[in-house]
Structure 1
């Protein structure tokens, strides 16, 4: 049996420019436009998500950004990673807890979920 771990952890592991580019694409606005708005709201001391609210007033940013739901919807097993701002933000959300098959604090927890015999630390 082949076992794999697929991660979609957004800004936790990668630069957040991809995160904002995804929002721009989803909102159907040029990426540089959203980038400029993010810079403007941050300089103004506001939440960077206000850039999204300028483009789509009333948007529920949190409801639109929950990675475990699309994965679970297509039958993948999911793990909610409590890491980075979004990971901790959603850690206690009841719907995330119901959908996620696992909730982990570290990427090092994932191999043990895929292969219970995994001992880590380079041991084989």
Structure 2
């Protein structure tokens, strides 16, 4: 039985096109070139941060974020960057009686932006808040501690096999893999994409019905 649903942030709720586009601008690299290299890095199974090293060897993401903030170019996203299905799905799941959380690898600043958006949820936390990041099992342990139910009653929704689905399942959570964003598309044909998630979806709007069907089958 699924009693709680917890969402990843990037490419699950938030379209990160703006974010990575501004990083390309900061590096002085054409956005198309940056995107192509970003995809190539992911396809090779490397950490996405290796993309920055291609264009700026020795690049330190934390330091560069601080430099951007110092000149008025801090990371930012708004309502227009939410995927259209994000807010309605969060609201519908809560209305159905499910506990809804948001937890992803985000900075303190990004967490503040998310809170200002006043998304319909019962919990919102970032990796910086918890001082542990995915795919560390401790991140998902924190998810379990926050939720008002057992690990096996939580559905974690994410776009990445490596950062979301695999580690969440290892801790005992149920999982939903959404097919969108760079990772969702590049990893879609991985054998684990069919075998590992509790369910696969193309849109968050599918979740209420899929959860209802799953819970009915468990009764």
TM-score interval (norm. to shorter): 0.5 to 0.7
Within the candidate set 18, 27, 30, 1:43 is matched to: 30
**Pair 1:13 & 2:13 matched:** yes
Unmatched tracts of structure 2, length 5 or more: 39-47, 60-159, 215-219
Change (3 A) 1:2 1:93: closer
Q: Match for 2:169 among 72, 77, 100? A: 72
* Greater relative contact order structure (CA < 8 Å, 6+ sep): 2
Q: How large is the Cα RMSD of the aligned pairs?
A: 3.7
- TM-score norm. by structure 2 comes to 0.35
Instruction: Note the residue ranges of structure 1 that are not aligned, 5 or more in a row.
Output: 21-34, 57-62, 118-124
Instruction: Sort the Cα spacing of 1:108 and 1:65 in 2 relative to 1 into closer, same or farther, 3 A.
Output: same
- May I ask how many residue pairs the two structures share in their alignment? 97
Higher strand fraction: Structure 1 or Structure 2?
Answer: 2
> Quick one: distance in 1 between partners of 2:175 and 2:8?
10
Q: TM-score, normalised by structure 1?
A: 0.56
